[in-house]
Amino acid sequence: MYMDDYKRWLEADLEDPALTEELKSIAGQDEQIKDRFAVALKFGTAGLRGVLGAGSNRMNIYVVRQATQGLANWVKTQGGSQLVAISYDSRINSDVFAKNAASVLAANGIHVRIYDALMPVPALSFATRYYGANAGIMITASHNPAKYNGYKAYGPDGCQMTDDAAAVVYAEIQNTDILTGAKWMSFEDGLSQGLIQYVGDDCKEALYDAIKARSVRPGLCKTAGLKLVYSPLNGSGLVPVTRVLHDIGIDDITIVPEQQYPDGNFPTCPYRAEAGPGTGQVLRRRPDAGHRPRRRPGGHRHPLPRWNLRTGFRQRSGCAAAGLHLPRPD
């Protein structure tokens, strides 16, 4: 069965020539073919996630289109705005996958609001609620290595899709042929017909205002004299984070140059794209940020000043913010 699927893909006129080249390169390699075609990526409450490449068990434009057709079929049963919000991160092909998802939705008569540049997951959740969307799509693979990408689906509340909704979407995906089953129009046609629109500045400003409104002590940062080293980790946080920091009064910011700009290869984070040992090593080399004295358990000051590093990584749990005290570099 998987060999038949492989031959079908190999003989198809695929839009992405890199996929065809990959398929040709594994000719005669049964294990490689089986790994790509024996199973398909399964859609669940966390959406899809897999290694980039050719086949039903890889992330590519055809898997994205199939998943989006399944989502579109569900959206069309929901009434409401008939709109889906989309965002994407810096991972390889994230922008391509986002535009392909938008194209499938538009071909189904569903309106799309897509960010005009990469923005992080919270921005997608906010846009989903701001526009009263039926669903949201975030192209990301969270903390996985660079060879992965993913497709996360969100409900109208901006939260991860429920089990019941995900089950319906998965059933619709299974009934959609991966190569020919998805409706599709070009992204440009979707824009010209008004089915695809970019997220407006009004939504972005509302997001920033909502973040600043959560401040516990408004105005404190303007007089605190804080110095900050920040790393976007080659991801999507640079623009929104520095904007909010500036608005609350933190202007003395050093951006870690190795991790400043979007780069889906994550060259300084070989194990995790979010944070991990490589992240700490890069940050602790920066002499530019202020530090706070660290006290021993007994209450007296530790003789060496310490960095206070806040990340989205915890070695065991993998998600909650952790404070890591790193010795100040000499």
Q: How confident is the model at residue 329 (pLDDT cuts 50, 70, 90)?
A: very low
Q: Are 66 and 178 in contact (CB under 8 A)?
A: yes
Residue 34's CB is within 10 A of a number of other CB atoms, namely: 15
pTM: 0.85
State whether residue 194 is helix, strand or coil.
coil
Q: How confident is the model at residue 143 (pLDDT cuts 50, 70, 90)?
A: confident
The lowest-confidence range among 63-72, 100-109, 117-126, 303-312 is: 303-312
Rounded CA gap, 246 and 222, in Å?
Answer: 9
Residue 187's CB is within 10 A of a number of other CB atoms, namely: 19
Distance linking the first and last C-alpha atoms of the chain: 61
Q: What share of the chain in percent tops pLDDT 90?
A: 76
Which pLDDT belongs to residue 297? 34
State whether residue 29 is helix, strand or coil.
coil
Q: Which of 258, 237, 254, 231 is nearest to 90 (CA)?
A: 237
User: Is 142 assigned a catalytic role?
Assistant: yes
Which pLDDT belongs to residue 88? 98
Phi, psi of 117, rounded to the nearest 5 degrees: -155, 165
Rounded CA gap, 194 and 204, in Å?
Answer: 20
Does 101 score more than 90 pLDDT? yes
Q: How confident is the model at residue 38 (pLDDT cuts 50, 70, 90)?
A: very high
Does 84 score more than 50 pLDDT? yes
Q: Which of 127, 137, 130 is nearest to 161 (CA)?
A: 137
- Parallel, antiparallel, or unpaired for β 148-154 and 228-230? unpaired
What's the mean pLDDT in 192-207?
98
98: β partners: none
CA angle 306, 308, 313 (to 5 degrees): 135
Q: How confident is the model at residue 282 (pLDDT cuts 50, 70, 90)?
A: low
At 265-280, the pLDDT tens digits run: 999 886 544 445 455 5
Which pLDDT belongs to residue 85? 98
Number of alpha carbons in the 13 Å side-chain half-sphere of residue 147 = 6
Q: How confident is the model at residue 323 (pLDDT cuts 50, 70, 90)?
A: very low
The residue annotated as part of the active site, out of 56, 103, 142, 231, is 142
b vs e for 120-155, b when ≥16 Cβ sit within 10 Å of the residue's Cβ?
bbbbbbbbbbbbebbbbbbbbbbbbebebbbbbbbb
